Amino acid sequence: MTLTTRPRRDEDLPDLAAVLVRVHAQDGYPVEGVADPEGWLRHPNELQSWTAVEDDRPIGQITLTRAVVDDDAARVWHEHTGGDINRLAIPVRLFVDPDHRGSGAGRLLMEAAVEFARFRRLAIAFDVMLKDRAAIRLYDRLGAVRIDTLTHHYGDGLTEPAAVYAVS
């Protein structure tokens, strides 16, 4: 079995959507739900997305986005660093098939996003729900630094505690 990452292709979306539905059923990620999983994967501020593949079968993905002023992670990062939000990238939509956890796919996906951002001289910040402990362990292992906590608001008045991380 060969595990690699590559830029996400449109033909990956149906397989990734099915993986996302399994991830949501097991982990409750994303908290907003998966009524339209393929639509959720197409982020409007996407810079680049990558797919983790095992023997050419999609098992996970990540998207790197341009930061926008109303993004919680961007706001917190700006408050802590004074940095220009226009020079900030935010990794989002990171997930790996539950059957492939521990394979290194999450690490490879994060490394692809970080390398892309660094090459373009972009800072990196993101938020993660505190309930997503496996993701937090991954970010800690990769050297991301927690810079603050916040409350993520979604749905009809629902909230979830979250942490904001920065990668240097």
What is the CATH classification number for the domain harbouring 89? 3.40.630.30
Rounded average pLDDT over 143-165: 93
Q: So what's the pLDDT on residue 32?
A: 83
Checking if the pLDDT of 168 tops 90, the result is no
Checking if the pLDDT of 128 tops 90, the result is yes
Dihedral sign from CA coordinates of 64, 44, 134, 167? positive
More confident residue, 161 or 168: 161
Checking if the pLDDT of 68 tops 80, the result is yes
Residue 53 lies in domain: 3-167
| Contact by Cβ (8 Å): 6, 127 | no
Q: So what's the pLDDT on residue 118?
A: 96
Checking if the pLDDT of 41 tops 80, the result is yes
d(CA 60, CA 81): 31
d(CA 160, CA 21): 20
Checking if the pLDDT of 1 tops 80, the result is no
Q: Order of strands across the sheet with 57-66?
A: 3-7, 46-54, 57-66, 88-96, 123-129, 158-167, 145-154
Q: How confident is the model at residue 6 (pLDDT cuts 50, 70, 90)?
A: very high
Residue tagged 């983790």 (tokens): 52
Rounded average pLDDT over 144-156: 92
Q: How confident is the model at residue 39 (pLDDT cuts 50, 70, 90)?
A: very high
The count of domains in the chain is 1
Q: So what's the pLDDT on residue 93?
A: 96
Give the pTM.
0.94
